[in-house]
Homo-oligomer: A and B are copies of this chain.
Amino acid sequence: MKAYDVSQSEKTWDVSQSEKTWKDECGVFAIWNHPDSAKLTYLGLYAQQHRGQESCGIVTLHQKQHIIHKGLGLVGDVFNDKNLSLLTGSAAIGHVRYSTTGQNLIGNAQPLTSNLLNGPVAVAHNGNIVNQSILREALQREGSIFQGTNDTEILLHLMARNPSNDLLTAFTESAEQLVGAYSFVVMSEDRILAARDPLGFRPLVLGQLVSDLGMSYVIASESCAFDLIGAEYVREIEPGEILEISKSGLKTKKMNIDQSLYSQKQAPCVFEHVYFSRPDSNVFGMSVYESRKKFGEQLAIESGVDADLVIPIPDSGIAAALGFSQKSGIPFEFGIIRNHYVGRTFIQPAQAIRDFGVRVKLNAQANVLKGKKVIVIDDSLVRGTTSQKIILLLKQAGATEVHMRIASPPTIGPCYYGVDTPEKSQLIASHQSIDEIKNFIGADSLSYLSLEGMFKALSRSPKTFCSACFSGEYPTSLKGVVKKEKTEITV
C-alpha cells in the first residue's frame, strides 16, 4: 500500500532503500528503581537507535499509573526536556522500532499499552511471532479487537483472556502459546518482566546501575546501552527465561516448551554479529567487533587475492576489512568516504544524477584508488544493486581491479524471526551462482565467507545459532507464517 505513504508523494529519493542492505529490527530497554527512569530510558534507547529509527516510545510507572509518550522518528526528535520531565516515576520501559510486521503507524509504535482488569500493562517487543496469523484469527473469532497490525498485540490479548490474577502466570501461559522470536519487556502497575523466547533468537541482557540513589536493575537488547548510562553488565536473560523484577527483587522462571516445534536447543541470530548489533556491544556473550574482525580474517584465509589495498564499505564493512588486512598483510585504506550528515531522504535533480543514491552517502577517493588493485569488503550482499554502483564508483575513481569479498555466506533465505529481509526472489544468491553475481556487480572477483568458516570464526558449532538466512534451515515450525491483509491505512 505504498500509494498511501505520504512521503512517497514527494519526489524524494529514499537513501535507505538502496544503500542499506538489511533493515534493522527493534530495541528494548527497561529500568527498575531509579528516580530518573525516563531520562535513563531515553539514553538507553538513544544508544540502541541503530536497531530502529521509525518510531520510539517510553512508558513510566508512577503511583501505579502508566505515563506514556510515543512518536514517529528518532529518539532525539520524539523526546525533549518537556515531555521527559512529565514522564515521572521510578520504573520505565522503552522501545525503538523498525517495523518488521505492521506499517509505520503511530498506532503500531511501542511500548503497546492497555488497561486490563488488574490494571495497566505495557509491552515492548523485539522479534517476530511466527504463528501470529493462527493466534490472531482465533482471538478475533472470540471477539478480540485488534487496533493495529502489530504481532505484539497478540500477547496482550492472550494475557487479557488469561484467568490468572498473577502477572507472571498470565504472561508465562500466554508466551508459551507463541512460536517464534521474541525478547519482551513488560511493565504492570507494580513490576517489570523480561523474557526471551525458548531458542533465544534476539538478545536481551541484564545490568545493574549503582549510584548514590541506590541500586537499579536495567534490561536492554544490547550492552552498549549500559555503557552510556554507566551501568554494569550482569548476564544474558537465558533462552526461555522469564525474569520478574519487583520490590521483592529478582525472580526467575523457565517456560514450558513443546520441543516438537523446535529443531534446535537454542538459536541466537548470527546476523546480530554479521550486521545488526553495534560493534561495541557484547551479544550472546561475545564481542561483535571481534566477531567481525574474525570473519574478515577467515575470509582472507579462504579467499585471499593479490591486491594493493583492502578497503571497507563504510561503516558496515570496516571491522571485517581490518581483520582481512591484518591477516593478509595488504594495507587497509579508506578508499570510500562516508558522509555522516546524510538524512533519510534526498531531493533529486530533475535530470537524475547517475548512482545518486550511493553518491549521496559515499564518495570514492581517486587519490587513494588510482591505478590500484583493491579488495572491497562488505558485511553481506542482498540484491547486489548497491554493490554494482559502488564498484562502478571505484573503477571511475581509477581502481584497476576490484575484488569483492563478503564477510558472511550467501543469503539465500528470508528471515521469519524479526529481520526485515526482502522476498526470496530478491535475494540474488538464492537464484544466481557466485559467478553470475560477480558479473552482475561488475567485480573482477567475488568471494563469500563459507558457512563453516563463519562458525569457525565464532568458535561455535552450527546448531548453536540460527543461520537460516544462510543455510535455509529454520529452527522452528513455520506454521502460520503468512502475509497479513491490510484493512485500514492512516495518513
Residues of A within 8 A of B (CB): 1, 4, 6, 9-12, 35-36, 39-40, 42-43, 46-47, 49-50, 53, 59, 64-70, 74-77, 79-84, 86-87, 106, 113-117, 119-120, 122, 137, 140-147, 149, 156-157, 160-161, 189, 211-213, 224, 227-230, 278-280, 282, 287, 289-290, 315, 318-319, 322, 326, 331-334, 337, 339-343, 346-351, 353-354, 359-360, 363, 365, 367-368, 486-491
Contacts and interface: CB of A to CB of B under 8 A. Distances in A.
Given A114-B147, A142-B143, A487-B65, A347 B11 contact: no
B120 A67 contact: no
Contacts of A331: 326
Contacts of A156: 145
A43 B349 contact: yes
Nearest to A360: B228
B140 A488 contact: no
Contacts of A360: 43, 46, 228
Given A489-B66, A491-B68, A340 B315 contact: yes
In the assembly, how many copies of this chain are there?
4
Nearest to A365: B280
Q: Which 5 A-B pairs have the closest CB atoms?
A: A143-B161, A76-B343, A287-B367, A66-B488, A280-B337
Greatest chain B CB density within 10 A among A12, A147, A156, A340 is at A147
Given A39-B350, A143-B157, A10 B343 contact: no
A428 B426 CA distance: 57
A488 B112 CA distance: 12
A326 B309 CA distance: 12
Greatest chain B CB density within 10 A among A35, A74, A81, A115 is at A115
Given A83-B491, A488-B113, A36 B74 contact: no
B116 A140 contact: yes
B74 A341 contact: yes
Given A42-B347, A113-B488, A145-B114, A229 B287 contact: no
A392 to B, nearest CB: 12
Contact of A49 (B75, B341, B346): B341
B227 A359 contact: yes
Greatest chain B CB density within 10 A among A53, A114, A120, A490 is at A490
A81 B337 CA distance: 27
A332 B332 contact: yes
Contacts of A64: 487
A374 to B, nearest CB: 15
A106 B290 CA distance: 46
A359 B46 CA distance: 12
A388 B331 CA distance: 31
Contacts of A147: 114, 147
A486 B348 CA distance: 30
Contacts of A212: 351
